[in-house]
Amino acid sequence: MSDAPESGFSLELGEDLARTREWLHEFAASVIRPAGAEWDEREETPWPVLEEAAKIGLYSLDFYTQQYLEPSGLGIPVVFEELFWGDAGIGMSLAGSTLAALSVAANGTPEQVGEWCPQMFGGPGDVKLGAFCSSEPEAGSDVSAIRTRAVYDAAAGEWVLNGVKTWATNGGIAEVHVVVASVDPSLGSRGQASFVVPPGTPGLSMGQKFRKHGIRASHTAEVVLSDVRIPERCVLGGRDRLEERLARVKESGHAGGQAAMRTFEASRPGVAAMAVGIARAAAEYAAEYATRRVQFGRPIGQNQAVAFMLADMAAAVDAARLLTWRAAWMARQGRPFRRAEGSMSKLVAGETAVRVTEQAIQILGGNGYTREYPVERWHRDAKIFTIFEGTSEIQRMLIGRTITGLDVR
Ligand X SMILES: Cc1cc2nc3c(=O)[nH]c(=O)nc-3n(C[C@H](O)[C@H](O)[C@H](O)COP(=O)(O)OP(=O)(O)OC[C@H]3O[C@@H](n4cnc5c(N)ncnc54)[C@H](O)[C@@H]3O)c2cc1C
Chain contacts with ligand X (rule: CB under 6 A): 99, 132-135, 140-141, 167-169, 212, 215, 220, 384, 387-389, 391, 393-394, 397, 409
The smaller minimum CB distance to ligand X, of residues 221 and 316, is found at: 221
Burial state string for 377-391 with b = 16 or more CB within 10 A and e = fewer than 16? bbbbbbbbbbbbbbb
Q: How far is the CB of 399 from ligand X (least distance, A)?
A: 12
Q: How far is the CB of 3 from ligand X (least distance, A)?
A: 27
Q: For helices 88-107 and 375-382, what crossing angle results, to 10°?
A: 30
The smaller minimum CB distance to ligand X, of residues 52 and 136, is found at: 136
The smaller minimum CB distance to ligand X, of residues 17 and 224, is found at: 224
Q: How far is the CB of 180 from ligand X (least distance, A)?
A: 7
Specify whether the CB–CB gap between 235 and 182 falls below 8 A.
no
Closest among 376, 72, 41 to 216, alpha carbons compared: 41
Q: How far is the CB of 196 from ligand X (least distance, A)?
A: 15
Provide the β-strand partners of residue 196: 178
State the residue number with the nearest CB to ligand X: 140
Cβ partners under 8 Å of residue 68, min gap 6: 75, 76, 105
Q: How far is the CB of 202 from ligand X (least distance, A)?
A: 22
The smaller minimum CB distance to ligand X, of residues 244 and 393, is found at: 393
Instruction: Report how far apart, in Å, the C-alpha atoms of 380 and of each of 2, 81, 312 are.
Output: 39, 17, 20
The smaller minimum CB distance to ligand X, of residues 187 and 397, is found at: 397
Half-sphere exposure of 398 (CA within 13 A, CB side): 24
Residue tagged active-site, from 70, 136, 222, 389: 389
Angstrom distance (rounded) from CA 298 to CA 289: 13
Angstrom distance (rounded) from CA 81 to CA 274: 5
Closest among 75, 24, 80, 87 to 53, alpha carbons compared: 24
115 carries an active-site annotation: no
Residues with catalytic roles: 389
